[in-house]
Structure 1
Amino acid sequence: MAVDGALAVPGYAERASRLSGAVVWTNTPSAATGRPVLPDGCMDLLWTEGRLLVAGPDTRAYHPGGPPTRWAGVRFYPGTAPTYLGIPAHELRDRRVALADLWPAAEVRRLTGRVDAAADPSTALEEIALDRAGRTADPDPLLRALVAALDAGRSVAATADELGLGARQLHRRSLAAFGYGPKTLARVLRLQRALALARSGVPFAETAARTGFADQAHLARDVRELAGMPLGDLLARG
């Protein structure tokens, strides 16, 4: 799976989390270098100077507003956050919500204070995610198999057959775990694979061929629809 945060973007840093498959990141964007957050199949637990939030799964580019500020986040492996956070992904699709809307307010106030006071807010946020994961059931391993198959370029129909699921059951599980159906998930994962190749210098036509697009024009349409701008403009932002 492509990891968008591996980019050399000013103010941004990330590392692998102790929570399986998750990524811990920090970001202090500037107004001049800010770039959109692209769909990636994931959900994030967020902290920004006195607030804890959850970023739901995106189906389009998200453009943070307001003045530049410090951020820290835990980006959960696709499909796992609903188990840890206790809410179906589709209820948070294309939304950023206060954690206090999902968990008891008193608990969130205590956790917010802990992160605010920490020397490293990202590590404190990671501890919250690890503690929560330790008190919940493990995410369904079938979901990881689904992500792996789609990210390898298998079709939705072939993946459903491999997993022994009917089309309706696969769609229902995908809505709860990822916030959208398996076809949208496959499209988002394909976009991330293509961006990783293009950012490494692979020509656009070759990128399209290697990541399952019909041609370069198909790649260009998907980037414009999901990222909201042409591929060249997106790469220029980092």
Structure 2
Amino acid sequence: MNEVGGAGQYRERPSRFAGAVLWTRTVDGMDPVLPVLPDGCMDLIWRAGRLVVAGPDTRAHHPPASDGVRYVGVRFSPGTAPALLGVPAHEVRDQRVDLADLWPSSAVRSLVGQLEAADDTATALEEVVLRRAAVADQADPLVSRMTAALDAGWSVAAIAAGAGIGERTLHRRSLAAFGYGPKTLARVLRLQRALAAARRGVPLAETAALAGFADQAHLSRDVRALAGIPLTELLARS
């Protein structure tokens, strides 16, 4: 889910930064504003002359819907943004933080000037990310393996054993990379699997089974807890 909920004029494409998505959104005041649901991702967003980092969410985020405002963002796949942005994910969890609070203000002012002067803000923001990636630390090598294993239903103990580390170490590395521990990440990934299936028209009982829920009631409870609204309402509005 992109950082600004609702339909409006929304476009996205794969970024040249591996695993990321480049998206743009112009808010239409007539659109329903959907909550931004936890997905394990972080975003770097350009809006009205500001660069903002959207941290990983543990609950639904309800963005403002100012008519006519244009957003441009890069959505990073789970666990890949902290090394690039130079901030542990848990430090920005459930927050929207100005990049100038994380990076030297002079560097951010320079980037803002470049984006304001660009003919294509989306491409210019992508270039910012690519230049940063060329000098930034590499992401924790455990990130992709942990995400895939949790998405496949592995237990935390099995992942830790497979990586040759203790569960406490796994939890600490998960906090830095994803913003929360592996059990919460597994819950978030399960929610996203379920929503993807339901939006394809898969019946809800089958969706619950495919995504790894005990039953449809379990799916409904988890959606309400993480999204703040019932599953049927969420699907109808989206």
Scaled by the length of structure 1, what TM-score is found?
0.94
Deviates more, 1:128-137 or 1:31-40: 31-40
5 Å-filtered alignment, 1:11-50, equals 11-33=9-31, 34-50=33-49
Q: Which amino acid aligns with 2:222?
A: D
Tell me the CA shift for residue 98 of structure 1.
Answer: 0.5
Unmatched 5+ stretches in structure 2: none
Report the Cα offset of residue 153 of structure 1. Answer: 2.1
Letter of the 2:38 counterpart: P
Report the more deviating stretch, 56-65 or 109-118: 109-118
Contact 2:45 / 2:74 at 8 angstroms: preserved in 1? yes
Q: Percent identity?
A: 65
Amino acid in structure 2 at the alignment position of 1:91 = E
Contact persistence 2:36–2:60 (CA under 8 A): yes
Q: Assess if the C-alpha contact under 8 Å between 2:6 and 2:34 holds in 1.
A: no
AA paired with 1:30?
D
Q: Could you say which residue in structure 2 is the equivalent of 1:61?
A: 60
SS of the residue 1:46 aligns to: strand
SS at match of 1:25: strand
Does the aligned pair in 1 maintain the 2:35–2:60 contact within 8 Å? yes
Counterpart amino acid of 2:124?
A
CA distance in 2, matches of 1:108, 1:30: 29
Q: CA deviation at 1:114?
A: 1.2
Q: Deviations over 1:128-168 (max 9, x none)?
A: 11111100122122111101111122222222222222110
Report what 1:176 is aligned to: 176
TM superposition shift of 1:66: 5.0
**Which residue type is aligned with residue 22 of structure 1?**
A
CA distance in 1, matches of 2:151, 2:28: 32
SS across alignment from 1:65: coil
Q: Residue type matched to 2:23 in 1?
A: W
Whether contact under 8 Å (1:153, 1:211) holds in the other structure is: no
Report what 2:190 is aligned to: 190
Cα distance in 1 for partners of 2:101, 2:120 equals 25
1:218 aligns with 2:188: no
Aligned counterparts of 2:183 and 2:28: Cα–Cα separation in 1: 35
User: Cα offset for 1:11?
Assistant: 1.5
Q: Structure 1: any 5+ residue segments left out of the alignment?
A: none
Amino acid at match of 2:37: L
> How many angstroms apart in 2 are the aligned matches of 1:236 and 1:13?
21
For residues 198 and 66 of structure 1, the distance between their equivalents in structure 2, rounded to whole angstroms, comes to: 26
Aligned to 2:106: 106
| 8 Å CA contact 2:27, 2:65 repeated in 1 | no
Separation in structure 2 between the aligned mates of residue 206 and residue 155 of structure 1, nearest angstrom: 22
